[in-house]
Amino acid sequence: MSARFATHVAYEPPAYALRVLEVLERAGHEAWIVGGWVRDALRGAPCHDVDVTTSALWQDGARILREAGIVVHETGTAHGTITAVVDGRPVEVTTYRVEGTYSDHRHPDEVHFVRSVQEDLARRDFTINAMAYHPKRGLLDPFGGCEDLAAGVVRAVGDPRKRFAEDALRVLRAVRFACRMGFSIEADTHKALVEMAPLLGDIAQERIGQEVSGILESGRMGWALMHEPEVIGAAIPEVTDMQGFDQLSSWHVFDVMEHTAHVCNAVEAFTAGVASLRLRWAAFLHDIGKPATLSIDENGRGHFYGHPILGAIMAERIMKRLAIPGELTRGAVALVRYHDHIIRPTERSMRRVLAILDEECTGEAMTLAHELMDLKRADAVSKQIKCAWYAVELDEMDRILRSEGSKGATVRVKDLAIGGRDVIEELGIDPGPMVGMALSQLLQAVIDGEVENTREALITELWRTAQQTE
Q: Which residues contribute to the site for ligand ATP (CB under 6 A)?
A: 35-36, 48, 51, 124-125, 129-130, 167, 169-170
**Shortest-Cβ-distance residue relative to ligand ATP:** 36
170 binds, among Mg ion, ligand ATP, none (CB under 5 to 8 A by kind): ligand ATP
End-to-end CA distance of the chain: 96
Between residues 48 and 303, which has the closer beta carbon with respect to ligand ATP?
48
Between residues 164 and 223, which has the closer beta carbon with respect to ligand ATP?
164
CB of 234 to Mg ion, least distance (A): 24
CB of 48 to ligand ATP, least distance (A): 6
CB of 213 to Mg ion, least distance (A): 15
> Per residue, what are the HEC states of the chain?
CCCCCCCCCCCCCCHHHHHHHHHHHHCCCCEEEECHHHHHHHCCCCCCCCEEEECCCHHHHHHHHHHCCCEEEEEEHHHCEEEEEECCEEEEEEECEEECCCCCCCCCCCEEECCCHHHHHHCCCEHHHCCEEECCCEEECCCCHHHHHHHCEECECCCHHHHHHHCCHHHHHHHHHHHHHCCEECHHHHHHHHHHHHHHHHCCHHHHHHHHHHHHHCCCHHHHHHHCHHHHHHHCHHHHCCCCCCCCCCCCCCCHHHHHHHHHHHHHHHCCCCCCHHHHHHHHHCCCCHHHHCEECCCCCEECCCHHHHHHHHHHHHHHHCCCCHHHHHHHHHHHHHCCCCCCCCHHHHHHHHHHHHHHCCCCHHHHHHHHHHHHHHHHCCCCHHHCHHHHHHHHHHHHHHHHHHHCCCCCHHHCCCCHHHHHHHHCCCCCHHHHHHHHHHHHHHHCCCCCCCHHHHHHHHHHHHHHHC
CB of 210 to ligand ATP, least distance (A): 10
CB of 66 to ligand ATP, least distance (A): 24
CB of 51 to ligand ATP, least distance (A): 5
CB of 324 to Mg ion, least distance (A): 20
Handedness of CA 445, 449, 455, 459 (dihedral sign): negative
CB of 150 to ligand ATP, least distance (A): 18
* 425 vs 18: CA distance, rounded Å: 72
94 binds, among ligand ATP, Mg ion, none (CB under 5 to 8 A by kind): none
Cα separations (Å) of 257 from 264, 290, 387?
Answer: 11, 10, 18
Between residues 47 and 387, which has the closer beta carbon with respect to Mg ion?
47
Backbone torsion region of residue 28, taken as left when φ is above 0, otherwise alpha when ψ lies between -120 and 50, otherwise beta: left
Biggest alpha carbon–alpha carbon distance for the chain = 96
Radius of gyration of the chain (CA): 28
Between residues 158 and 345, which has the closer beta carbon with respect to ligand ATP?
158
228 binds, among ligand ATP, Mg ion, none (CB under 5 to 8 A by kind): none
CB of 230 to ligand ATP, least distance (A): 19
Looking at residues 8 to 37 of the shown chain, list those that interact with Mg ion (rule: CB under 5 A): 36
13 binds, among Mg ion, ligand ATP, none (CB under 5 to 8 A by kind): none
Between residues 38 and 196, which has the closer beta carbon with respect to Mg ion?
38
Between residues 35 and 311, which has the closer beta carbon with respect to ligand ATP?
35
* 463 vs 359: CA distance, rounded Å: 27
Between residues 130 and 373, which has the closer beta carbon with respect to ligand ATP?
130
CB of 162 to ligand ATP, least distance (A): 12
Q: Does 90 bind Mg ion (CB under 5 A)?
A: no
CB of 49 to Mg ion, least distance (A): 6
Between residues 50 and 462, which has the closer beta carbon with respect to Mg ion?
50
| Nearest Cα residue to 252 out of 267, 241, 263, 266 | 263
Assess contact for 220 and 212: CB atoms under 8 A.
no
Between residues 217 and 415, which has the closer beta carbon with respect to ligand ATP?
217
124 binds, among Mg ion, ligand ATP, none (CB under 5 to 8 A by kind): ligand ATP
Between residues 36 and 405, which has the closer beta carbon with respect to Mg ion?
36
Between residues 36 and 345, which has the closer beta carbon with respect to ligand ATP?
36
**Shortest-Cβ-distance residue relative to Mg ion:** 36
442 binds, among Mg ion, ligand ATP, none (CB under 5 to 8 A by kind): none
287 binds, among Mg ion, ligand ATP, none (CB under 5 to 8 A by kind): none
Contacts to Mg ion by CB under 5 A: 36
